[in-house]
Amino acid sequence: MRKFLAVLLSLMVIASLTILPASAEEAVTLENIKVGFIHVSDPSDMGYTYNHDLGTQHMQAALGLTDAQIVNKFNVPEDNACADAIQELLDDGCNIIFGTSFGFENYLLAAAAEYPDVEFCHATGFQAAGSGLANMHNYFGKIYEARFLSGIVAGMKSLEIGNNVLGYVAAMPFAEVISGYTSFYLGAKAVNPDVTMKVGYTNSWNDPIMEAQVAKALIDAGAGILGQHCDSTAPATTAEANQAFHVGYNSSMIAVAPNASLTSAVWDWSAYLIFAIEQVVAGEPIPADWAGDMASGMCDISELNEAIVAEGTAELVEIAREGILSGELKVFAGPLSGTGLNYDGSVATIELAEDEFYDESGTQSAPSWNYIIDGIEIINE
């Protein structure tokens, strides 16, 4: 009988363990959550990945996560290496994975379909809402608001130096980039109606040598001030070496080009990271699309280089900022027209009347402005 009772008690203990609610064993908290990141480069670029990693650090400090709770995969190409990186993060027990480069999206979609209990968040993409996957999400921000302000800085400097030609070092002919340089140009044009802009593509997100070459070509073509949508500080240092001026992206570049760099359009990605992680911990859904704006702290411009910005720049920037925050100033406001391409390669046009505006990021987080407007010239394809 004793032996029977011992066996029975053992079975009861085992049964009690197996019927414990899964949530009691697997509840995700700030103390046990594991967060994975996949980056196309590393923080040494002092640009795109540097800025994303800075957001991770801000998030970690705000939420009190330990170093062991964060797993970074740096220098991951936009190919099958991304799938490998995702699998490594899954094997490491990550509850939420952030992919920060455009070319990662299809790999994240495939993983999200296979692992429904893990959240996958993709910066710059556009396919989450149409995927039907509750655990796939896109996030970006209304960086065009900051681009517009940085364009005002460039436009004021163009008036001061008497050179109405801007140059722009652009990575890819994608909507994300086209939206960025268009809003930059519109900001400059708001203070200097005579300004024009030449755009040169590098066809790479991060290629310092090519970025320097394109920057020099734009300066040689007459540009006195450069803007950029590429990952390194090469346009800034090239402007410095050639007595031109510069507006950066992702980080303040004044330190590397103190006599050239005026300001930068910058991000604080922690605004989204904190939100998404807190949603997971609370057991609440993350939206399929999320776009932070200047009001949320997601984007802004860095400090002005007071030693070289044109007189009156700060005042005009603040007036424009107040207009954007109040909703009175729309960046893509009519009258405005342009021609571009749809995703399927067909020609697209847009024509906005005086009282109309294009609601960039209004229906999806990723930029969708894909039109070349008058005054902008593409110098290479």
Domain containing residue 254? 143-266+300-378
Q: Could you give the number of structural domains in the chain? A: 2
Q: Strand 225-229's sheet: what is its strand order?
A: 299-301, 261-267, 245-250, 225-229, 165-170, 196-201, 376-378
Q: Is residue 22 part of a domain?
A: no
For residue 134, the surrounding DSSP H or E stretch is none
Q: Is residue 157 part of a domain?
A: yes
Lowest mean pLDDT among 43-47, 57-61, 86-90, 276-280: 43-47
Cβ 140 vs Cβ 115: under 8 Å = no
| Last residue in a domain, options 292, 326, 359 | 292
Q: Is residue 1 part of a domain?
A: no
Same domain, 258 and 365: yes
For residue 279, count other CB atoms closer than 10 A to its CB. Answer: 16
**CB within 8 Å of 15: residues ≥ 6 apart:** none
Cβ 151 vs Cβ 190: under 8 Å = yes
Q: CA distances (Å), 176 to each of 61, 81, 141, 172, 337, in order?
A: 30, 24, 11, 9, 18
Q: How far apart are CA 278 and CA 153, in angstroms?
A: 36
Same domain, 314 and 361: yes
Q: Is residue 213 part of a domain?
A: yes
Same domain, 154 and 236: yes
Same domain, 100 and 200: no
- Strand 261-267 vs strand 299-301: parallel, antiparallel, or unpaired? antiparallel
pLDDT band at 242 (very low <50, low <70, confident <90, very high): very high
pLDDT per residue over 182-206, tens digit each?
Answer: 999 999 999 999 999 999 999 999 9
Maximal C-alpha separation, the chain: 102
Which residues pair with residue 372 across a beta bridge?
339
Q: Is residue 7 part of a domain?
A: no
Same domain, 147 and 218: yes
Q: Is residue 6 part of a domain?
A: no
Same domain, 215 and 242: yes
User: In this structure, what CATH number is given to the domain that contains residue 124?
Assistant: 3.40.50.2300
Same domain, 52 and 118: yes
Q: Is residue 210 part of a domain?
A: yes
pLDDT band at 25 (very low <50, low <70, confident <90, very high): low
Cβ 106 vs Cβ 122: under 8 Å = no
Same domain, 213 and 307: yes
- Judged against a pLDDT cut of 50, whether residue 6 lies above it is answered with no
Same domain, 212 and 232: yes
Cβ 221 vs Cβ 166: under 8 Å = no
Same domain, 351 and 285: no
Helix (H, G, I), strand (E, B) or coil at 114: helix
Q: Is residue 67 part of a domain?
A: yes
User: What mean pLDDT do residues 142-159 have?
Assistant: 98
Helix (H, G, I), strand (E, B) or coil at 136: strand
pTM of the model: 0.88
Same domain, 104 and 54: yes
Burial 211-239, CB ≥16 within 10 A → b, else e? bbbbbbbbbeeebbbbbbbbbbbbbbbbb
Q: CA distances (Å), 124 to each of 128, 138, 176, 323, in order?
A: 11, 7, 8, 26
- Strand 96-99 vs strand 35-38: parallel, antiparallel, or unpaired? parallel
More confident residue, 20 or 252: 252
Same domain, 275 and 134: yes
- Judged against a pLDDT cut of 50, whether residue 317 lies above it is answered with yes
